[in-house]
Structure 1
Amino acid sequence: MVYDVVVIGGGQAGLAMGYYLRKTHLSFMILDSNESVGDAWRKRYDSLVLFTPRLYSSLPGLALDGDPSGFPTKNEIADYLERYAKTFNLPIQVKCKVTKVRKENNEYHIVTNDSKIKSKKVIIATGPFHTPRIPSFAKDLPKNVVQLHSSEYKNPSQLNRGSVLVVGGGNSGAQIAVELSDSHDTYLSIGHKIRFLPLSIGKKSFFWWCEKIGLLKANGDSFIGKKFKDKPDPIFGFELKERIKNNEVQLKTRTKSIKENVIQFEDLSTLKVQNVIWATGFNKDYSWIDIPNLFDGNGNIKHNRGITENTGLYFLGLPWQHRRGSALLLGVGDDAEYLAHHIESN
């Protein structure tokens, strides 16, 4: 069988794509490497809570259960995604790792861990988070220091007693630092000034206000989009700010090097710790896509709203693919709908 469309990735982007493909006459299949739908969320650290309220944490066609103004846990999202797939009877093949995509005679050949699949069109919906980004000097830490990437961190029981350095200033690093400050002397290394934003203003979610001023719908080329696109993500909520104020989390500048068990920072201060959490993000890995002319000079995917120069090849769930929320639950549905219309008419 040759499918009309194969979607690679069964997370929020792939499921949203499936929802809109269900509305077409096209045959399609969603492939995901996890054991079950939602596992990408289940595997994250135990205490993870989204900073978007439930009202802004749903995919098209199915609202997330619970208080719309409350904040869902990662397990809620995992269970929601599983329910989403069942509600719309989406054809998903789990435990299916794609190892190669190539094009032959106007058909895409998809090689997986146990099969070969053919399709007229392919949508890459694997998201932007592929392989943990850890600085090369991490190898210079002695073996008795516990070091984990944030994707490996689950809870404080994994760590040695003593102090911990969290490296990275995103919301994951902030949440982990706050949690660890209850049990460890905690330091947070950040290479930029932290911007804190409230979770709510008055009795309305911060994202309600963003919707009102047009930020949620602003594309990357708009005036308001350009103002936000290249800035580091803000930290939502004031828990970390309070911990810093009370000296429960101590700020350090950018981590620059490690010699034996001494960590040196950009301001030339040094520190010895018993644990390091690398909340340093992820690198993209598209090495399995054997398609020419895919990247620009900076290594970014060449596309227009997810449509590439290679006929029949699409991307979904990229940061700022079109708007601020393109890689988030609250925004990926708009991009999926756009691609579904384009695919059906071409």
Structure 2
Amino acid sequence: MERSVLVIGAGQAGLAAAYHLARAGADYSIADANRRVGDSWRARYDALTLFTPRQFSALPGLELSGNREGYSNRDEFADYLEAYASRLKLPVETGRRVVRLSRLDDGRFEATFEDGGKRQASEIIVAAGAFQVPRIPTVAGKFGSDVLHLTTDIFRNANQLPDGPVLIVGDGASGRDIAVECRRTQPVILATGKPRKLLPERILGKSIWWWLHLTGALTASPDSLLGSRVRATDAFPDRDRSLESLKRKDIRIAPRLVNADETTARFSDGSSAEVRTVVWTVGYRDDSSWLDVPLAVNEDGSFRHEAGVSPVKGLYFVGRPWQRNRASALIMGAGPDAELVVQRLLADRGG
């Protein structure tokens, strides 16, 4: 049987997989739903910057230009991905959204594209990204029709907002960034969840990411003692985003949102607030509706894999959060994870 790999998605994980497939001399192609490479980043909120400094934010084979200690913004990194695909001559086909992936009787896979076209491949690497469908809690349905709802994939900047208080639900890095942006034009309430630990941005003149890499915190497996602690903490660097800093910016900090009634948001401490807009920043879930392959998906709709290897022969994943470790959800983890997945794919062929 002729061997060819289809990589689904041309974000950082898909491009890293393509890099290692090319180095191995494998026959492969890349299909991406967007019009341009990098559009998955361009579609996110305007003020977005990467978690990690440039020195930790490059893919294998091409440095990310600029101050190594500084942080790339959304558009800069999107352009880097586009340049990466171009300079390394990676065969990305844009505007090719996969709407169904099925398994044929001969063991090959068949991808059906939105335009009705089809492509067969002996192996599939799914690199669809971790930010697919924003989660919206059921409490959202208790707000009245006068409240505008936005999610992280819709929100761009404060100019979208109608006049009136804005409630941000979720105090992760994105939620805190969006709270600061919204405060430029409107009153803001940030509804928090579990206590979060923020890390200092630098220690003894070195980036916190340098120290985390040095101590092995980024590469510890999730079932190890260190890895389980890192996962439970879910910390991110404090770049002027502590709750105290947000309070100084005149952002009201509220506990967990537990109920709503028309325009009134109610919190776990019994307090409430009148709101005009709610921005939901409570994370994402996988969209696996297109993956029509038995055993490839868990009951909750998440992709089933172990370190990127599906129980379905010939199916692999890259770019999954905690695929192998904390770095898996960061740019710095895309290259190493993709390299191991490609090695496993080639080894499975030999077997």
With 83-92 and 279-288 compared, the bigger mean Cα shift is at: 279-288
| Distance apart, 1:223 and its partner CA | 1.8
The answer to whether the 8 A contact 1:31-1:94 is kept is yes
Q: Is the 8 A contact 1:197 1:238 kept in 2?
A: no
Of 250, 260, 266 in structure 1, the residue corresponding to residue 262 of structure 2 is 260
Contact 2:247 2:253 in 1 (8 A): no
Q: Deviations over 1:207-231 (max 9, x none)?
A: 0011111112212222211112234
Identity percentage of aligned residues: 37
Please give the residue correspondences for 1:182-331 in structure 2 after superposition, counting only pairs within 5 Å. Answer: 182-234=184-236, 236-246=238-248, 248-296=250-298, 300-331=302-333
Separation (CA, whole Å) in 2 of partners of 1:2 and 1:96:
23
Cross-structure match for 1:166: 168
* Equivalent position of 2:11 in the other structure: 11
CA shift for structure 1 position 296: 4.6
- Letter aligned with residue 64 of structure 1: L
Tell me the SS of whatever aligns to 1:62. Answer: coil
Q: Any conservation in 2 of the 1:240–1:249 contact (CA below 8 Å)?
A: no
* 2:92 is the alignment partner of 1:92: yes
Q: What per-residue deviation string (whole Å, max 9, x for no partner) do you get for residues 61-106 of structure 1?
A: 1110100000110101000000000111001111111011111111
Supply the distance in 1 between the matched residues of 2:259 and 2:29 (Cα, whole angstroms): 46
- 1:139 Cα offset (Å): 3.5
Gaps of 5+ in 2: none
Separation in 1, partners of 2:32, 2:181: 31
Shift of 1:18: 0.5
Q: Structure 1 residue 233: deviation in Å?
A: 4.1
- Paired with 2:237 and 2:196, the residues of 1 have a C-alpha distance of 7
Q: Match for 1:109: what amino acid?
A: E
For 1:89, what is the secondary structure of its paired residue? coil
Count of aligned pairs: 346
Contact 2:286 2:301 in 1 (8 A): no
Structure-2 residue corresponding to 1:31: 31
Q: Cα RMSD over matched residues?
A: 1.8
Deviation at 1:300, TM superposition (A): 4.3
- Partner Cα distance (2:332, 2:305) in 1: 21
- Counterparts of 1:163 and 1:54 in 2: how far apart (Å)? 36
1:61 counterpart = 2:61: yes
Q: Determine if the alignment matches structure 1 residue 79 to structure 2 residue 79.
A: yes
Cα distance in 2, alignment partners of residues 334 and 164 from structure 1:
40
TM-score normalised to structure 1 length: 0.95
Which consecutive unaligned segments of at least 5 residues does structure 1 have?
A: none
Q: Is the 8 A contact 2:287 2:301 kept in 1?
A: no
Cα distance in 2 between the residues matched to 1:149 and 1:176? 10
Contact 2:167 2:191 in 1 (8 A): yes
Report if aligned partners of 1:294, 1:302 keep a CA contact under 8 Å in 2.
yes
